[in-house]
Amino acid sequence: SYELTQPSSVSVSPGQTARITCSGDIVAKKYVRWFQQKPGQAPVVVIYKDSERPSGIPERFSGSISGTTVTLTISGAQVEDESDYYCYSAADNRGVFGGGTKLTVL
Amino acid sequence: EVQLVESGGGLVKPGGSLRLSCAASGFTFSSYSMNWVRQAPGAGLEWVSSISSVSTYINYADSVKGRFTISRDNAKNSLYLQLNSLRADDTAVYYCARDISDLDYWGQGTLVTVSS
């Protein structure tokens, strides 16, 4: 079965660029999407198909891919971006999440 | 507007059973695969199970295989998860989500607590 590996935490000051990585063999084969989850809420997609941004998501959110690693970049992170972030992919009708990254902006 | 509403969670003893439901509206339910995803307290998201649009393909995470059963009723726009032989580590909020590749819409979740 596939696995996705994320750092457990990332910390930046407001206005700095935050980068969260997600690595795994499935990244080179299938699209990855990124979810933002705030406490007590369902996850919300912020990036899909590795680098596409849904409507309504701020332009400071972007995604990129290199080999078996995708990266979520938040350029000029805001305090309101402080959340848990999860990468996700699926193959053969089986889904897999990364372990999640707690982003702290302070 | 797409809506997914889970129900059926609650407190159950170890070894017990529970049936979760997810009522879907606002889209053609029979055209989409559906999924269950769970999140234990303070932990990350875990994909649990998926079922294809007409139930042809069904898959489970290794952690629940043989204990949980996913099903759907396209006539009732409903998704189900039968939870048997429950253990303490099954305690989690259970979400239903649309489409295995996208998980583009989620419900608000239903809490399952396994405790004696």
CB contact under 8 A, B52 and A93: yes
Per-residue pLDDT, averaged over A73-86, amounts to 97
Chain A residues whose C-beta sits inside 8 Å of any chain B C-beta? 1, 30-31, 33, 35, 37, 42-43, 45, 48, 84, 86, 88, 90, 92-100
Per-residue pLDDT, averaged over B50-65, amounts to 96
Longest dimension (CA), chain A: 40
pLDDT tens digit sequence for B6-32: 999 999 999 999 999 999 999 999 999
> What proportion of chain B, given as a percentage, has pLDDT over 90?
95
pLDDT band at A78 (very low <50, low <70, confident <90, very high): very high
Per-residue pLDDT, averaged over A44-60, amounts to 95
Cite the beta strand spans of chain B per DSSP E: 3-7, 10-12, 18-25, 34-39, 45-51, 58-60, 68-73, 78-83, 92-98, 110-114
Q: Which of A9-18, A31-40, B29-38, B99-108 has the lowest mean pLDDT?
A: B99-108
Q: Encoding tokens for residue B36?
A: 């269950």
pLDDT at residue A36, as a whole number? 97
Between the two ends of chain A, the Cα-to-Cα distance in Å is 37
Per-residue pLDDT, averaged over A50-62, amounts to 96
Q: Answer whether residue B94 shows pLDDT above 90.
A: yes
Q: State the smallest CA–CA distance between residue B85 and chain A in angstroms.
A: 22
Sole residue written with tokens 């699926």 = A90
Q: What is the mean pLDDT of chain B?
A: 97
**No. of H helices and E strands in chain A?**
0, 9
B95 and chain A in contact, CB less than 8 A: yes
Q: Answer whether residue B101 shows pLDDT above 90.
A: no
Cite the beta strand spans of chain A per DSSP E: 9-12, 18-23, 33-37, 44-47, 61-66, 69-74, 83-91, 94-97, 101-105
Of A1, A43, A90, which is closest to B101 when you measure between CB atoms? Answer: A90
Q: What is the mean pLDDT of chain A?
A: 96
pLDDT band at B100 (very low <50, low <70, confident <90, very high): confident
pLDDT at residue B102, as a whole number? 87
Q: Encoding tokens for residue B91?
A: 């305690």
